[in-house]
Amino acid sequence: MLTASHWGLFYAKTKDGRLVAVRPFEGDRAPSPNLSSLVEHPYSSARIQTPMVRRSYLEKGSASRAGRGADEYVPVSWDKALDLAAGELRRIYETYGPSAVWGRSYGWKSTGSVNNAIALMQRLLSLLGGWVETGNSYSTAAISTILPYAVGGKLFKPTVWPVIKEKTERIVFWGCDPLITNDIDWATTLHQGIAEIRKLKDHPRIRTIAVNPLRPKTADVVGSRWMPVRAGTDAALMLGMMYVLITENRLDRAFLANCVTGWNEMEAYILGTEDGVKKTPEWAEIGCGVPAQQIQSFARELSEHRSMIMFGWGPQRARYGEQPPWMAVALACALGQIGLPGGGIGVSYHYESGGWPVGKGPVLGQIPARPKAVWQSAVPWKGSRAVPVARMADVLACPGKVIDWNGSRIEYPDIRLVFWSGGNPFAHHPDTRALEAAWRRPETVIVTDAFWSATARHADIVLPAATTLERNDISPIGTSTNDGIVFMRQVINPVGEARSDYKIYSELAKRLGLGDAFTEGLDEAGWIQRLYEEAAAAGAAQNAELPAFADFVKNGVHLYAQNPAETRFTAFADFRADPEAHPLRTESGKIVIYSKRIEALHYADAPAHPTWIPPFAAD
């Protein structure tokens, strides 16, 4: 039976109703070694097999919240658990309103467009009147905040691999390990990115360099030259390189004049005119640990060859994380190859097969997460409607606190109920102990999960969800590459009393008087067919016909043809050719290296141009 996971499509073999083996889909170009572990996945000792409620919560309700994370759990019936959860949702919305509900689950929810745990939870909360939203992500908070100022977009579409293989001479894997991180996809994947990177080992022209504090697996497999840099000092290394480009007259002055604003201020900073410190390779060596001679030769090498900087997300997951990606854009500008075939910079080659040409076909949607509210709370909204995701512990602990956030002043709402589904903040929040303490403040915590994650172990009401192997669904193939659609056939019966996410939320909606609004009269099979037929209608309009739904289900998968236009895509090519006709969505319409918008914010830790700020500088 064909189904799918974050690690790719695969065939599942069962015996006596139990999963016993998996085999990769024949169209997978680099099958993941992690697929084999899925045989054990549904039978893990960490499975939540029945609805559970914290014992003290059953006895004392929200007054017992100090015991979260320590109390034992009591198995209860589904009716009991759902009645408790629905009752608490109703009480909180009626008493405190939607601004008291944290419903922005975050994390690697299961593959599937109907049983999308996060979307289903938010669909229910939307019908109830809303919830506190979050901005940014733990993955890309700094880079996705600074790039709109610099280039007018977040994780912009990169130059495609066919162009790279034809034109590029040097590839820099900067702060990434793409053979590791390309193994997964937010939906599912055919692993074209891994296949293309592996081919670089024997490419007759392309040479690769890995800039990373640790030697990445990619460097070993591909044979990259490794340039170890001290963690958190990438910006210093890039400044030293730009000093070489400036003083050796290696800049493309025409590109800088036509396509960049703020370069003069940046050059003054690099040459020491601004602060009296010349950012020489010798200066950079003190900070980053790379010998000055290597910095010089590296800058020369990239300027003398068609070079692509494949910048990762590792350097920006740190204090002052806006500086490394902005500095990388400045370095790419100094090299002058942005918009040239095979040159410039990309920030998503290490994820979701970034750089593979997008398939010619419609994008499969998911179950809508934001229907119009049915409930209208009489309680006015208090505090901001959105907060930074990494501030969760602070928000829970400090209602009413006011902070600066990307040019705005926001006030923390007073969270009384946390509803979490499809993720585990205890695994990715910056300060686990602070989160554990703040987690005790809300009156009720409801968690839907398949496993006893740390978050589930700190809940009051725990609802056991089925895994992807235990229900039918449908999924796009390739979140970034749009390679097709797969029908995810149910392989085994749910373990224990686990239920599909769709069934759980449908039952909650029914108890809240929202059943018809939530389901729209459709069961899981009905939603799978609706999403497919919506995609088919869009495909017909694009001259990309999809087979009839019954044929799709029978075949299990439909792969899109390659779009010829996509196979020649070069990032920023139109902009470079004519900046006036193809302006970027920045303050100047060009690449911004000195931002007056950022300067106007007067943030001490966010200068108006890319800047070296030592990672452990005092606040």
Beta bridge partners of 207: 170
Q: Is 108 a catalytic residue?
A: yes
> Which residues neighbour 202 within 8 Å (Cβ) at sequence distance 6 or greater?
none
Q: Which amino acid is at 396?
A: L
Q: 530: which DSSP letter? A: H
Among 106, 243, 283, 420, the active-site one is: 106
Containing H/E element for 5? Answer: strand 2-5
Q: Which residue has the tokens 């299990």?
A: 556
573-580 contacts at long range (C-beta below 8 A, 24 or more positions apart): 573/339, 573/340, 573/341, 574/339, 575/259, 575/339, 576/255, 576/259, 576/338, 576/339, 576/340, 577/339, 579/258, 579/259
Helices (H), 182-270: 192-199, 217-222, 234-247, 253-259, 263-270
Q: Which residue has the tokens 């200068």?
A: 607
427-443 b/e with 16+ CB inside 10 Å = b? ebbeeeeebbebbbbbb
Whether residue 318 contacts residue 232, with contact meaning beta carbons closer than 8 Å, is answered with yes
Rg (CA), the chain: 26
Closest CA to 280 of 264, 292, 268, 289: 292
Q: Is 106 a catalytic residue?
A: yes
Q: How far apart are CA 124 and CA 355, in angstroms?
A: 36
Closest CA to 35 of 551, 520, 468: 468
SS3 call for 308: strand
Q: How far apart are CA 177 and CA 313, in angstroms?
A: 10
SS3 call for 599: helix
Beta strands 225-227 and 207-211: pairing type?
parallel
Q: How far apart are CA 70 and CA 457, in angstroms?
A: 8
Q: How far apart are CA 563 and CA 184, in angstroms?
A: 23
Q: How far apart are CA 532 and CA 214, in angstroms?
A: 44
> Which residues neighbour 252 within 8 Å (Cβ) at sequence distance 6 or greater?
335, 336, 337
Among 78, 108, 138, 375, the active-site one is: 108
Whether residue 473 contacts residue 367, with contact meaning beta carbons closer than 8 Å, is answered with no
Q: Which amino acid is at 102?
A: W
Tell me the residue ranges of DSSP E strands in 429-472: 444-449, 461-464
Please give the C-alpha separations between residue 219 and each of 178, 225, 348, 579, 616, in angstroms, as whole numbers. Answer: 10, 7, 18, 36, 29
Q: 402: which DSSP letter? A: E
- Among all residues, which ones are annotated catalytic? 106, 108
